[in-house]
């Protein structure tokens, strides 16, 4: 194992972006894996692909799962290992990531997922936005299927 100097360890501890390999999060279908990353300060994971449940859990918990092609990820990893400047800039609004060498790379993210991350919304806050619609549905449904709804006290 390579000996890492104190300065390198400090830089890595302050990182909020994790760069990983293909199928990241495979086997981590429980939200605990995403919670642990968020608690560590990770706000974005860059990888060529993600396990689908892990990807969804990232979105629900405010972590951006940013997908780039394998070559771009390999290039980024090489830059992070060799460059003195390890700054990576992510513009979620424009769906672009800027590498340490200044090159700009586009990424795609579902519009609803992008908006959820930009606005800091989780599934509960998204549902709360439709409180009136939910109440109206429940009222209609009580008429159509009264046996589904509790009665009395």
Q: How many CB atoms lie within 10 A of CB 116?
A: 19
The verdict on pTM exceeding 0.95 is no
Contacts of 94 (CB under 8 A, 6+ apart): none
Whether residue 11 is predicted with pLDDT greater than 50 in this model: the reply is: no
For the chain, domain boundaries? 6-109, 121-147
CATH T-level topology, domain 6-109: Aconitase; domain 4 (3.20.19)
CA distance 59 to 117: 7
Q: Can you say how many angstroms the Cα of residue 68 is from the centroid of all Cα atoms in its chain?
A: 14
What's the pLDDT tens digit per position in 65-114? 999 999 999 999 999 988 677 889 999 999 999 999 999 999 999 999 99
């Amino acid at each position: 194992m390579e000996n890492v100097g104190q300065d390198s360890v400090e830089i890595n501890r302050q990182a909020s972006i994790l760069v990983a390999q293909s199928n990241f999060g495979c086997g981590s279908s429980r939200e605990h894996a995403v919670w642990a990353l968020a608690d560590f300060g990770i706000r974005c994971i860059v990888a060529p692909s993600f396990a689908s449940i892990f990807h969804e859990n990232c979105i629900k918990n405010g972590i951006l799962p940013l997908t780039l092609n394998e070559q771009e990820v390999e290039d980024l990893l090489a830059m992070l290992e060799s460059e003195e400047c390890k700054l990576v800039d992510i513009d979620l609004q424009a769906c672009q990531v800027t590498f340490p060498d200044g090159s700009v790379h586009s990424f795609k993210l579902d519009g609803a997922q992008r908006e959820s991350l930009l606005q800091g919304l989780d599934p509960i806050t998204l549902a709360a936005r439709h409180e009136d619609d939910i109440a109206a549905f429940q009222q209609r449904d009580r008429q159509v299927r009264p046996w589904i709804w509790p009665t009395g006290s």
